[in-house]
Homo-oligomer: A and B are copies of this chain.
Amino acid sequence: MRLKDLGEFELIKRFRKKIKTDTMVIRGSGDDCAVLRFNARYHQLFTCDMLVEGVDFYKSTDLYLVGRKALAVSVSDIAACAGVPRHAVVSLGLPKNMPVARVDRLAKGMFDLAAKFGVNIVGGDISAADKLVIDVSMLGEVEKNKLCLRSEAKPGDLIMVTGAFGGSIKGKHLKFTPRLKEARFLVDNFKINAMIDVSDGLLQDLGHVLEQSKAGGVLYESLIPLSKAAKNAEEALCSGEEFELLFTASREEAGRIIKNKKYRFKLIGEIMPESFGLRLIDYESRYSKLKLKGFRHF
């Protein structure tokens, strides 16, 4: 059997079954970040993301944006756990013939984003490679009582998002701002139950929350905020690399959250009991059958 026949998510499940961790690990593989014991007040967050030329970007893509994205995706993972990013190491696979000016451009994108979000780049590794590969590992911190996981959505919670969806491939996937401020505002002022960043697609990532929370959910198609770049609601539901946050909170908290004056969060649905499954109510108020479409590497 080949990887493309097994599929990305089955492969990940296969790995997870073999993993054993000790008591220092509060949450291993399966969330936006690993959660590790740190000190009396904080947990440590640990995440990594790899970008590959020809898959995540093209040879013609401005490497400033690639460098920026390489760190921004990890900042987004840390934001999804409601943490603050601290340190990163960067591994680069670089073609020998690559012009130094292009590496400088890549580095500038990384350093600018690191500066903007207070991330220390503390080390790295450089290897020769046929195609450009960038892997960033990032550490963050989160107050123990503010940590948000995918697994804590409760039936009755309302589902909210930080922004609009659709057509990310037209530009947002390279230029998005990780929703760090929004995440911190949420956990500083409200009780958030579950949170995830939308990298695989709204439906698919909501699916991850539901699976891990052992819950069902309903989404209202008419409530999904559409980006200017969105084709339609269906596309917006499946569009990968939107890097908005999806989060859930009790009805009371949701009411307070929606009324806040600082950020606009949008209500898109509700967490239901597990037996309900995941359903979409379409523009004609009919249940639509949902297929979990979204980005998969294979």
A residues near B (Cβ < 8 Å) are 1-6, 8, 11-12, 14-15, 18-22, 24-25, 28-30, 33-34, 36, 39, 46-52, 54-56, 86-87, 89-101, 103-104, 107, 111, 115, 118, 120-131, 133, 135, 137, 139, 297-298
Contacts and interface: CB of A to CB of B under 8 A. Distances in A.
B122 A28 contact: yes
A97 B2 contact: yes
25 contacts: A3-B97, A11-B103, A15-B124, A18-B107, A22-B120, A24-B87, A28-B123, A33-B123, A34-B87, A34-B123, A46-B137, A48-B89, A48-B123, A49-B125, A51-B127, A52-B127, A52-B133, A54-B130, A91-B135, A93-B133, A96-B298, A129-B131, A135-B135, A135-B137, A139-B139
- Report copies per complex: 2
Give chain A's interface secondary structure class.
Answer: mixed
Contacts of A122: 21, 25, 28-29, 34, 36, 46
- Please name the 8 residue pairs, one residue from A and one from B, whose CB atoms are nearest each other, closest first: A137-B137, A34-B122, A50-B91, A135-B135, A21-B120, A34-B123, A48-B89, A128-B297
